[in-house]
Amino acid sequence: MSKSKLEYIWLDGYQPTQSLRSKTKVVSDFGGKLEDCPQWCFDGSSTEQAEGNSSDCLLEPVSIIPDPQRHNAFLVMCEVLNADGTPHVSNGRATIDDDDNDFWFGFEQEYFLWDIETDKPPGFPVGGYPGPQGPYYCSVGAKNAHGRQVIEEHLDVCLEAGLNVEGINAEVAAGQWEFQVFAKGAKEAGDQTWLARYLLERCGEQYGMAINWHPKPFGEMDWNGSGMHANFSNTTLRECGEKDSYDKICQAFEPRVKEHIAVYGADNDQRLTGKHETQSIDQFSYGVSDRGASIRIPVATVTNGWKGWLEDRRPASNADPYRVAAEIIKTVKSA
């Protein structure tokens, strides 16, 4: 009788920013498919998702990949349900209206590595700060690229697990990095982004590195913040071939600024200031190749005859990709 380890992964109920949680279920003669994963439960009173006198929350498996860091193991992404089987209020995945997978998403996930001994990113000198941003972006060499061993291991395990991570790069500040995930279908894109985040957290454990998802951990410094730019398309954007259609979709975002900002991450006001390649948090704009706009129309979309995608540059690094996708889909459909 063979034994397999299933790591059930879910999002807790902490506010304003949810965290990943996980626990291991050992099963016999596991078939390796999602339908072979049984529903499970956990103590929601320990994760801000239930009261102690009625504490059971359900874990509904929604995605499974091999676990490249453990023997005979799998990672199982789960939705959280109430005891009666309805979606828990913390369940952002359940808010997505994309059953036909018409929407494709590519998330650009920025973050800081965070040395738990120094309580700073790698590359920060004791008692001070590194030099200004500029040399760290896409950098090479020990003087400017800090923590590469973590992000290289993360890329390897993501690819080995079958996640569609399409690239990595060093970002503008010392110790700041980025990975990109793409998937056809909003729920799948959210699943893959959360699983990639989980693997990054676990890779960091081996090096004493936490992951700082805050959009502006050094608000006083003249540096870019950390975002999770959301690249998206649907059939219309991919095939319409008309500038007017793109204008109509972009303009549909303007009256819904508050609704989007509400799910685009906590403390995003510290990042969306109108500086450092951002639009102000209470304003809206769009433009071709404009990284200071709320919505950027990529040059590739225009040169391809207005067939392509859009980039919402406002989501923060700590935003829930499920809720970001849900809100974008709602706005695009309204157009």
Q: pLDDT band at 127, cuts 50/70/90?
A: confident
Assess whether pLDDT exceeds 80 at residue 90: yes
Domain with CATH 3.30.590.10 in the chain: 104-334
Give the CA distances from residue 49 to residues 3, 46, 150, 217, in Å, rounded to whole numbers and listed in that order.
31, 7, 32, 27
CB neighbour class for 236 (10 Å; exposed up to 12, middle 13-18, buried from 19): middle
Backbone angle region of 313, left / alpha / beta, with phi > 0 → left and psi within -120 to 50 → alpha: alpha
Assess whether pLDDT exceeds 80 at residue 97: yes
The first and second tokens of residue 102, run together, are: 């018409």
CATH number for the segment(s) 3-91: 3.10.20.70
Strand, coil or helix: what is 324? helix
Q: 194-241, pLDDT tens digit by residue?
A: 999 999 999 999 999 999 999 999 877 788 899 999 999 999 999 999
Q: 130-184, pLDDT tens digit by residue?
A: 999 889 999 999 999 999 999 999 999 999 999 999 999 999 999 999 999 999 9
Distance CA 201, CA 157 (A): 12
Residues in contact with 99: Cβ distance below 8 Å, sequence separation at least 6, in sequence order: none
Assess whether pLDDT exceeds 80 at residue 276: no
Per-residue pLDDT, 56: 95
Q: pLDDT band at 88, cuts 50/70/90?
A: very high
For 20-70, give the DSSP string: EEEEEEEEES---SGGGSPPEEEEGGGTTSSBTTB-EEEEEEEEEEE-TTS
Alpha helices in the chain (DSSP H): 148-161, 186-205, 235-239, 243-253, 257-261, 299-303, 321-334
For the residues 99-125, what does the mean pLDDT come to? 96
Considering the segment(s) 104-334 as one domain, its CATH architecture is 2-Layer Sandwich (3.30)
Q: pLDDT band at 260, cuts 50/70/90?
A: very high
Q: 3-49, pLDDT tens digit by residue?
A: 999 999 999 999 999 999 999 999 999 999 999 999 999 999 999 99
Distance CA 131, CA 182 (A): 33
Domain with CATH 3.10.20.70 in the chain: 3-91
Q: pLDDT band at 288, cuts 50/70/90?
A: very high
Distance CA 323, CA 335 (A): 19
Assess whether pLDDT exceeds 90 at residue 54: no
